[in-house]
Amino acid sequence: MIEAQNLTKTFKDKKRGVITAVDDVSFTCRPGQIYGLLGANGAGKTTTLRLLATLLKPSRGHATVAGCDVEREPEKVRAHVGFLAASTALYGRLTAREMITYFGRLNGMTDPAIKARIQHLATELDMAEFLDRRCDKFSTGMKQKTSIARTLVHDPAVMIFDEPTLGLDVMTARAIVGFVRDCRNRGKTVIYSTHIMSEVEKLCDQVGIIHGGRLVAEGTLPELRARFGEQDMEEVFVKAVGGEAALAAALKN
Amino acid sequence: MNLHNIFTVYLKELKDTLRDRRSLMSMIIIPTFVMPALTFGVGKIAAGVVNKAREETPAVMIVGGDDSPGVAAALRQDKKLKVVPTAADWKQQISDKKVRAAVLIPVGFEAGLKAGAADAVVIYNYDGELKSGFAVSELEKFFRDLREQTVTARLAERALPATLVKPFDLRRENVAAPEKVGGNLLGGIVPYIIIILCFTGAMYPAMDLTAGEKERGTMETLLCSPVARVDLVLGKFLMVLTGSLSAMLLSLTSMGLSATFAGFMFSSGGGAAKLAAAAHQAGAAGSAMPMIDPFGLLGVVAMVLPVSVFFSAVIFTVALFAKSYKEAQSYVAPMIFLIIMPAVVGMLPGIDLNARLALVPILNLSLVCKEMLSGIWHWNYIALIFGSSCVYAAIALTLAVKMFNREDVIFRA
C-alpha cells in the first residue's frame, strides 16, 4: 500500500529560483493494483517516485509505503520496495549473480536464502545462460532481466517503476510490461510512471495524470474517459493538462 | 551504523575496484614497480651520465702564455686535460660546448713567479655545465699544485720547513650510523614519494566510486537499497582508504626490498664490488640506497595513516560533487599541486619542525618523517602532528558523510 498526502518537493536553482517539482500531490495505491502516473517529461513523475522510494525527502506533506513513513523510517521503506527505473543501472564489472547477491546482502538476506532466490529468479526470468557473465557485456534484454532480478531479490511488497521501458526495443519493452502485470497478479502494490499512453491502457487499474508537479486528474480508465468525454487516452491526457498550449508551454519549461 | 552493511559494501567495492584497470594501475602497479624503477633507474642513469662525463678528457684552450712555455708544456702533459690549439673564437667555442674551458695565462707569468709575484690566472667556463665543471676542477687542481710546488720551492730556497705554511692537517670522519646517514639523505624524498602515492592511490578509486557511479547510473541503484547512507559512505570510504594505504605500503615494501637487494649486491664482493665502487663514486646520485632505520620507517607508516584517511575523505568528497568521471578528474588532478607544494617545502634543507609548522597539514608530515628517518624523535611534536592529522581526517570524513546525504550533490543535474 502507498499513501501520499500533500506531497510537495521544492528545489533551489541558481538561475530559476525555487522550483516546485511536486506540488501537493495526494493519492493511494492499493495491493494487487497498478497505479499509473501519467505525465509529460518534467511533469514531476520521477521526483514523486523518488520521494516514495526515499531517495529524496519531501519538503512538505508525507507518505507511507507498506505502512512505513518515508521520512521517519526511510530504511524500512526501502526494505519493502523494489525500484526499477531507466536510471538504475547495473555494475558493469560484476556478474549478474554477483549483482543480485550484493543487493540480497544489502537487504539483510542470508547467503543460502540469496542462493535459493537466485536459482528461482534465474529459472523464472530465463537467466541461467548469462548468470555468471559480467554485466557490461550484456544485451539490453539481459540487462533488464538482471535489473528485474535485482529489484525482486528481497521479494518486496511494493514495486516502483519509473519509465522502465524508456529506450528499450519492442521485445524487451513487452517483457517488462508482462513482468509488471505479473507483479500485480502476485498481489504486490505497483506504481508505474510513463508518458506512453498504450502502456497506461494495457496496464493501469488506476491512473493519476500529473502536470507541472500537480495531480490534475485521477481515476480508473473508464472514469477518466467519461470525465473528459474522450475515448482516446492521448486526448484524455491533453484535455486533463489544459489543452495543447498548456502542454507545449510545460514542455518548453 | 551497521558494521555488517559497511563490510558488505566494502567487499563489493574491493572486488569491483580490483577489476578496474585504472584503479589497479594507481593502487598496485605504479607503487610496486614504477616508483622503485624510477628511483633506481633514474639514479642509475644519472650515475652513468656522471661517470661518462668524468671519463671524458676535457678539451681546454690556453690563451696567452707564449712567454710561459714551462706552464703551457706542463698543462699539455697533464693526462686529465686535452689541450687543443687556441682559436680566436675560444669564448664562442666554450658556449658551443666544443671546448670545455679556457685558461688565460697572463703576460710574463713565469717571470713574475720567479720574481716573487705574478698576475692572476683566469679560467673561463660554462657555468652549470657538468663537463665544463670537470674541466675547471682539473685546471684548478693543476694551478693549486703549481702554487704549492712554488711555495715548497721558495721555502726550500730559504731553508724553512714545510710546516711553516701548513702547521697542521685537517681530516673529516663520519660518526653517524649508516641508517642515520641514509635517513638524512632520503629523509626528504621518502615522505615526498609516500605523500604523492597516498594521494594518487586514493584518487582513482575515489573518483570511480562516486562520480563514476553517478555517471554509470549505479548510484541510484545503490541508494534504493535499505542500507543507511552513512554505511554506504563508510564502506566506499574504506575502499578508497585501502587504495591509498596499499599504494603507500606497496611502494615502501618494494623500495625496501630494492634497497636490501641493492645493499646485498654491493656487499657480496667480486663483480658486485665493482658495482659498489661505481655506486660509491656516484655518491648521492641515487644508484646505491643507504640504509634506512626500520623504526623510522614504521614511524613514517604510523604518521601517514591519519593523513591517508584525510586524503581519502577529501578526494571522496570532491569527487562526489562531480557529475562525471571526467569532471571529477578536473577537480581532483589540480589538488596534486596543493599536495606537492608542502611536501616539497618539507624537503628543503633548513626548514625545521616547530609548534606552528606541526599544525600545517602535509608539511608537518613531511618534516616529522624527515626527522624520524634521521633517528630524531621529538615526541611532543609527533603527538601534536598525529593528533592534528586525526582531527583533520575526522573533519574531512564528517564532511564526506554530510555531502553524501545532500540531495543536490547526489542528484546534481
Of A55, A57, A108, the CB nearest to B223: A55
| One domain, residues B130 and B73 | yes
Q: Which residues of A touch B411 (CB under 8 A)?
A: 50, 55-56
Which residues of A make CB contacts under 8 Å with B? 11-12, 50, 53, 55-57, 75-76, 78-79, 81, 83, 85, 87-94, 98, 102-103, 105-108, 150-151
Q: Is A103 close to B15, i.e. CB distance below 8 A?
A: no
8 A C-beta contact, residue A108 and residue A116: no
Q: Which pLDDT tens digit goes with each residue over A175-192?
A: 888 889 989 999 999 999
Q: Which residues of B touch A75 (CB under 8 A)?
A: 226-228
| SS3 category, B123 | strand
Query: Is the torsion defined by CA of B367, B369, B374, B378 positive or negative?
Result: positive
Distance between the two ends of chain A, CA-based, in angstroms?
Answer: 33
| One domain, residues B314 and B399 | yes
> What's residue B294's pLDDT?
74
8 A C-beta contact, residue B239 and residue B13: yes
Q: How many CB pairs under 8 A join A and B?
A: 64
* Residue A73 phi, psi dihedral angles, 5° rounding: -130, 60
Cell, residue B368: 616529522
- Interatomic CA distance for residues B76 and B70, integer angstroms: 10
> What's residue A189's pLDDT?
93
Q: Is B217 close to A76, i.e. CB distance below 8 A?
A: no
Q: Where are the beta strands (DSSP E) in B175-257?
A: none
Q: Which residues of B touch A88 (CB under 8 A)?
A: 217-218, 220-221, 224
Cell, residue B348: 628543503
> What's residue B187's pLDDT?
66
Q: Is A88 close to B411, i.e. CB distance below 8 A?
A: no
Distance between the two ends of chain B, CA-based, in angstroms?
Answer: 29
R_g (Cα) of chain B, nearest Å: 30
- Interatomic CA distance for residues A83 and B20, integer angstroms: 27
At which of B164, B193, B216 does a domain end? Answer: B164
Which of B27, B18, B16 lies closest to B216, judged by CA? B16
Q: Is B225 close to A108, i.e. CB distance below 8 A?
A: no
Question: Other CB atoms closer than 10 Å to residue A248's CB: what's the count?
Answer: 11
| One domain, residues B236 and B251 | yes
| One domain, residues B74 and B118 | yes
- B19 in contact with chain A, both atoms CB, cutoff 8 A: yes
> What's residue A156's pLDDT?
93
A60 has a pLDDT exceeding 90: yes
What domains sit in chain A, N to C, each tagged with a CATH number? 2-80+158-252 (3.40.50.300), 89-155 (no CATH)
> What's residue B278's pLDDT?
42
Which of A228, A210, A247, A250 lies closest to A49, judged by CA? A210
> What's residue B282's pLDDT?
41
**Parallel, antiparallel, or unpaired for β A189-194 and A34-38?**
parallel
For testing the chain B interface, which of A93, A147, A162 should be mutated: the one with the most B CBs within 10 Å? A93
| One domain, residues B255 and B340 | yes
Those residues with Cβ within 8 angstroms of residue A145's Cβ, 6 or more apart along the chain or in another chain: A125, A126, A127, A175
> What's residue A27's pLDDT?
92
At what angle are helices A233-240 and A221-228 packed, to 10 degrees? 60
At which of B139, B164, B189 does a domain end? Answer: B164
- Interatomic CA distance for residues B7 and A75, integer angstroms: 18
Q: Is B224 close to A89, i.e. CB distance below 8 A?
A: no
| One domain, residues B64 and B39 | no
Is the model more confident about B38 or about A53?
A53
Of B8, B19, B407, the CB nearest to A93: B19
- B406 in contact with chain A, both atoms CB, cutoff 8 A: no
Kindly indicate the confidence band of residue A248, based on its pLDDT and cuts at 50, 70 and 90: confident
| SS3 category, A158 | strand
Burial label, B117 (beta-carbon count in 10 A; 0-12, 13-18, 19+): exposed
Which of B17, B11, B408, B7 lies closest to B213, judged by CA? B17
| One domain, residues B271 and B140 | no
Of A75, A85, A108, the CB nearest to B228: A75
Task: Indicate the average pLDDT of chain A.
Answer: 89
Q: Is B226 close to A78, i.e. CB distance below 8 A?
A: yes
Question: Other CB atoms closer than 10 Å to residue B302's CB: what's the count?
Answer: 12
Q: Which residues of A touch B20 (CB under 8 A)?
A: 93
Tell me if B172 is assigned to some domain. no
> What's residue B12's pLDDT?
95
- B1 in contact with chain A, both atoms CB, cutoff 8 A: no
8 A C-beta contact, residue B22 and residue B211: no
Those residues with Cβ within 8 angstroms of residue B297's Cβ, 6 or more apart along the chain or in another chain: B190, B252, B256, B373
Question: Other CB atoms closer than 10 Å to residue B399's CB: what's the count?
Answer: 16
- Interatomic CA distance for residues B344 and B331, integer angstroms: 22
Tell me if B171 is assigned to some domain. no
| One domain, residues B12 and B72 | no
Q: Which pLDDT tens digit goes with each residue over A113-137?
A: 999 999 988 988 888 899 999 999 9
Residue of B nearest to A154 (CA): B225
Tell me if B301 is assigned to some domain. yes
Give the distance from residue B33's alpha carbon to the nearest chain A alpha carbon, in angstroms.
25
Tell me if B37 is assigned to some domain. yes
8 A C-beta contact, residue B408 and residue B320: no
At which of B164, B199, B227 does a domain end? Answer: B164
**Angstrom distances, CA of residue A117 to CA of A104, A149, A152, B297:** 9, 9, 9, 50
Judged by phi (left if over 0) then psi (alpha if -120 to 50, else beta), residue B291 lies in: beta
In the predicted model, what is the mean pLDDT of residues A74-87?
A: 90
**What range defines the domain where residue B25 resides?**
3-51+177-410
Q: Is B227 close to A75, i.e. CB distance below 8 A?
A: yes
Of A11, A88, A98, the CB nearest to B221: A88
> What's residue B200's pLDDT?
87
8 A C-beta contact, residue A27 and residue A65: no
Question: Other CB atoms closer than 10 Å to residue B197's CB: what's the count?
Answer: 27
Tell me if B283 is assigned to some domain. yes
For testing the chain A interface, which of B3, B17, B23, B221 should be mutated: the one with the most A CBs within 10 Å? B221
- Interatomic CA distance for residues A135 and A150, integer angstroms: 12
Of B220, B226, B407, the CB nearest to A79: B226
Tell me the CB-side half-sphere exposure of residue A226, using CA atoms within 13 A.
6
Tell me if B169 is assigned to some domain. no
A154 has a pLDDT exceeding 80: yes
> What's residue A252's pLDDT?
67
Cα B287–chain centre separation: 13
8 A C-beta contact, residue B30 and residue B259: no
Give the distance from residue A228's alpha carbon to the nearest chain B alpha carbon, in angstroms.
36
Kindly indicate the confidence band of residue A250, based on its pLDDT and cuts at 50, 70 and 90: low
| One domain, residues B47 and B63 | no
| One domain, residues B39 and B61 | no
**Angstrom distances, CA of residue B152 to CA of A115, B163, B180:** 96, 10, 42
Tell me if B406 is assigned to some domain. yes
> What's residue B283's pLDDT?
43
pLDDT digits (tens), chain B, 413 positions: 889 999 999 999 999 999 988 888 878 888 888 767 776 777 778 778 888 877 888 999 999 888 888 888 999 998 889 999 988 899 999 999 999 999 999 988 888 888 888 888 999 999 988 889 999 999 999 999 998 888 888 888 888 888 888 888 889 887 777 666 666 666 667 778 888 888 988 999 999 999 999 999 899 999 999 999 999 999 999 999 999 999 888 888 887 777 666 655 545 444 434 444 444 444 444 444 456 677 888 888 888 899 999 999 999 999 999 999 999 999 999 998 888 888 888 777 777 788 888 888 888 888 888 888 777 888 888 999 999 999 999 999 999 999 998 988 888 76
Cell, residue B14: 574491493
Of B15, B225, B407, the CB nearest to A107: B225
Which of A96, A73, A203 lies closest to A150, judged by CA? A96
**Domains in chain B: how many in total?**
2
* Residue A246 phi, psi dihedral angles, 5° rounding: -65, -40
Q: Give buried/exposed letters for B123-160 (b at 16+ CB in 10 A, else e).
A: bbbbeebebbbbbbebbeebeeebeeeeeeeebeeeee
> What's residue B289's pLDDT?
46
In the predicted model, what is the mean pLDDT of residues A3-24?
A: 89
| SS3 category, B145 | helix
| One domain, residues B213 and B321 | yes
Q: Is B225 close to A56, i.e. CB distance below 8 A?
A: no
Q: Which residues of A touch B12 (CB under 8 A)?
A: 91, 94, 98, 102
Tell me if B286 is assigned to some domain. yes
> What's residue A88's pLDDT?
84
A107 has a pLDDT exceeding 90: yes
Cα A10–chain centre separation: 20
Q: Which residues of A touch B226 (CB under 8 A)?
A: 75-76, 78-79, 106-108
| One domain, residues B60 and B47 | no
Q: Is B225 close to A90, i.e. CB distance below 8 A?
A: no
Kindly report the CATH number assigned to the domain that includes residue B120: 3.40.1710.10
Give the distance from residue A55's alpha carbon to the nearest chain B alpha carbon, in angstroms.
7
